[in-house]
Amino acid sequence: MALAGTRKRVRLAGLLSPITILLTVFFIAPLSILLVYAFLEPGLYGGVVWNFYDQNFGRILGWADGYYEEFDPVYFSIFGRSFRLAITTVLISLLLCYPAALWVTSLSERWRSFFLFLITLPFFASLVVRLFAWVLILKPTGWINETLISIGMIVKPFDMLYTEGAVVLGMVYVFIPFMFLPLYASLEKLDRSLLEASGDLGAGRFKTFMRVTLPLSVPGMVGGSIIVFIPSLGNFIVPDLLGGAKVLMIGNLIEQQFLEARNWPFGSALAWMVMVAVLLFLLIYVTVVNRAEALQEQ
Amino acid sequence: MREIFDRTMRRASRHALLVYSILFFAFIYAPMMIIIVYSFNANPVNMMSWSGFTFDWYRTIFGLGTKLTEQTMYVESTEQLTNAVGHSLIVALTTTTISTVIGTLTALAMARFGFRLKTFYRVLVFMPMIIPDIVLGIALLIYFVTIGVKLGLVTIIIGHCTFLASYVFIVVSARLAGMDQTCEEASADLGASAYQTFRRVTLPLILPGVIGGALLAFIISMDDLVITYFIAGVDSTTLPVFIYGMLRRGIKPEINAIASLMIFFSLVIASLGLWFRSRSSR
């Protein structure tokens, strides 16, 4: 018996050691170093000085000494814009996906899997390429302007690229499958008999939707929102290609610190702030879902 | 009266939903279709203004002769492009192999054993998928520079494995969760060793999940831009990083052709993969 227990333990250790080593050495350790870096002094010509230094966060949050490092409210406004754009992206993709997801659930089994296939497919096409498509469509000599000019609707091309709208459009476009799938999953799970009961009891379609369908799909809505929010908040590819220098987000700021300004400690501090924001949102998600599940059980 | 009104409303709303959904799917596919169509556009000055059909952009990327004049040609060199594709394939194949093995082993441990740190492991395995990729990218960059590892294909492979093992874990776990354990018990009762049971019973049963996870890992690895961008060395550019670099320097018609080929190949591979999965899960 003791032998069997030992053997089992050895087997478990064997199964778990690869992931343990992988994540300790190449995940936990790098993130810890990132945290250490956020509290180190940036060297004059790139690199770091191994001193405890709280001015990296000071530059962002306001306790910089004003001598070596200066507090600059621009970082607040960039954070503000990132949150605003990420939340707009979430809301728009939610609004776009909901009716379509509802429609797909009303189809027969065969068609349902066909449309699910259609929605997952673009996820596999290269992200850069899908964004590049929008550059070609939106730019002053792009598809929209050329088409409108050739049919004589406008004379002068108008600017659509390098605006906040373009960035939101790009993020909605690339993250839309992430919103659709959880939403669809929660709508599909919905008990049809509840809808029928609501109808039998004299509620109209609108009322049924507001009182039954919508509340029961909250976990899917929140889940999709989180999965869209996380990659939107720290994004730098979309604002770089569609927002240009005009629409900076935290992601661009971090990238600049690493590849242009070579101020790694400051970049690390920014990155940790993104991390904390994301973890906070996740915590809210877990709480909301747990509460919703508790409500449903009652 | 009210009934007629209700019925008309219901029909109208159903039609509105149908029209909306068609537009929704058009929105998703139209941009990719536009790229593919215009990759055959002969206009060398403005690539979005149609002036005739040509294969020239495809010929340039493969280094074949074209009717284009020297000024309109752009491809820096076909060799750089093929190098990038080669790097992407090496990285994706290695990463897929490693992360599939690690992810599957982890899924087996979590599904078949009870142990004290289980919750901790569950959170740990989820973390690499949850944190923003830019954070993981720069954390790995700092780490590799600090411990003195030269950036290159090896660092890219390691970086991809850190988060792809988790994806494989999720897919294989889903398969294990829906699986009947009685076959494994029967095999053990009949005297098979643990290894024999795994090789003859468990593995064949979870194989669709393992293949699905591997395909997912392969595709994500082929497409990863953000993490690779930070930890790729100068001479280890992968395809997405190469294209991103080209885009940043200016948009030229050849990118259209490259992009169309990428869309085509990834959609074919993904279709095959999803089709295979839907078959095997039946």
pLDDT given at position A172? 96
Measuring CA to CA, which residue among A180, A178, A121, A125 is closest to residue B275?
A: A121
| Between B24 and B62, the higher pLDDT residue | B24
Q: Å from A133 to nearest chain B CA?
A: 6
Whether the predicted pLDDT of B277 surpasses 70? no
Domain that holds residue B42: 2-72
Domain boundary among B53, B72, B91: B72
pLDDT digit string, tens, across residues A211-256: 878 888 888 888 889 889 999 998 999 999 998 878 889 999 999 9
In a domain, B143, yes or no: yes
Do B40 and B115 belong to one domain?
no
In a domain, B206, yes or no: yes
Pairs of CB atoms within 8 A across A/B: 228
List CB contacts (< 8 A) between B159 and chain A. Answer: 26
Do B68 and B190 belong to one domain?
no
Average pLDDT of the residues of chain A: 86
Do B168 and B39 belong to one domain?
no
pLDDT digit string, tens, across residues B172-203: 998 888 777 788 888 888 888 878 888 888 88
In a domain, A177, yes or no: yes
Residue A146, domain CATH: 1.10.3720.10
Do B41 and B160 belong to one domain?
no
CB contact under 8 A, A135 and B240: no
pLDDT digit string, tens, across residues A53-71: 888 888 888 777 767 677 7
In a domain, A13, yes or no: no
pLDDT given at position B88? 94
CB contact under 8 A, B139 and A233: no
pLDDT digit string, tens, across residues A245-271: 788 899 999 999 988 888 899 999 999
Most B CBs within 10 Å, among A132, A162, A259, to test the B interface: A132
The DSSP code for B44 is: S
Query: Cα A197 to the chain's mean position, in Å?
Result: 37
List CB contacts (< 8 A) between A240 and chain B. Answer: 248
B214 and chain A in contact, CB less than 8 A: no
Do B59 and B160 belong to one domain?
no
Do B96 and B231 belong to one domain?
yes
Give the pLDDT band (50/70/90) at residue A1.
very low
User: By mean pLDDT, which of A169-173, B83-87, B114-118 is the weakest?
Assistant: B114-118
Give the pLDDT band (50/70/90) at residue A84.
very high
Whether the predicted pLDDT of B108 surpasses 60? yes
In a domain, A215, yes or no: yes
In a domain, A242, yes or no: yes
pLDDT given at position B86? 93
pLDDT digit string, tens, across residues A268-288: 999 999 999 898 888 887 887
Residues 41-60 of B with CB under 8 A from A: 46-49
Residue B82, domain CATH: 1.10.3720.10
In a domain, B265, yes or no: no
ipTM for the whole complex: 0.87
In a domain, B82, yes or no: yes
Give the pLDDT band (50/70/90) at residue A195.
confident
In a domain, A89, yes or no: yes
The residue of chain A with its CA nearest to that of B21 is: A100
Do B154 and B240 belong to one domain?
yes
Domain count, chain A: 1
In a domain, A182, yes or no: yes
Measuring CA to CA, which residue among B121, B113, B118, B111 is closest to residue B180?
A: B111
Whether the predicted pLDDT of B125 surpasses 70? yes
In a domain, B20, yes or no: yes
Whether the predicted pLDDT of B231 surpasses 90? yes
In a domain, A100, yes or no: yes
In a domain, B271, yes or no: no
pLDDT given at position B24? 94
Which residue in the set B24, B34, B248 is minimally distant from A96, CB to CB?
B24
**Can you give the three-state secondary structure of chain A, one letter per residue?**
CHHHHHHHHHHHHHHHHHHHHHHHHHHHHHHHHHHHHHCEEECECECEEEEECCHHHHHHHCCCCCCCCCCCCHHHHHHHHHHHHHHHHHHHHHHHHHHHHHHHHCCCHHHHHHHHHHHHHHHHCCHHHHHHHHHHHHCCCCHHHHHHHHCCCCCCCCCCCCCHHHHHHHHHHHHHHHHHHHHHHHHHHCCHHHHHHHHHCCCCHHHHHHHHHHHHCHHHHHHHHHHHHHHHHCCCHHHHHHHCCCCCCHHHHHHHHHHCCCCHHHHHHHHHHHHHHHHHHHHHHHHHHHHHHHHHHC
pTM of the model as a whole: 0.87
Q: What percent of chain A has pLDDT over 70?
A: 97
Domain that holds residue A122: 76-264
List CB contacts (< 8 A) between A119 and chain B. Answer: 25, 28
Give the pLDDT band (50/70/90) at residue A298.
low
Domain count, chain B: 2
Average pLDDT of the residues of chain B: 85
Print burial letters for A242-281: b (CB count within 10 Å at least 16), e (below 16).
Answer: bbeeebbbbbbbbbbbbeeeebbbbbbbbbbbbbebbeeb
List CB contacts (< 8 A) between A106 and chain B. Answer: 17
Cα–Cα distance for residue pair A296/B208, rounded to 1 Å:
34
Domain boundary among B25, B41, B72: B72
Cα–Cα distance for residue pair B189/A25, rounded to 1 Å:
39
Do B25 and B110 belong to one domain?
no
3-state secondary structure (DSSP) of residue B109: helix
Whether the predicted pLDDT of B70 surpasses 70? no
Which residue in the set B113, B143, B194 is minimally distant from A30, CB to CB?
B143
Residues β-bridged to residue A41:
A49
Measuring CA to CA, which residue among A117, A49, A87, A147 is closest to residue B28?
A: A117
Which residue in the set B31, B142, B243 is minimally distant from A133, CB to CB?
B31
In a domain, B259, yes or no: no
User: By mean pLDDT, which of A150-154, B95-99, B106-110 is the weakest?
Assistant: A150-154
Cα–Cα distance for residue pair B130/B111, rounded to 1 Å:
22
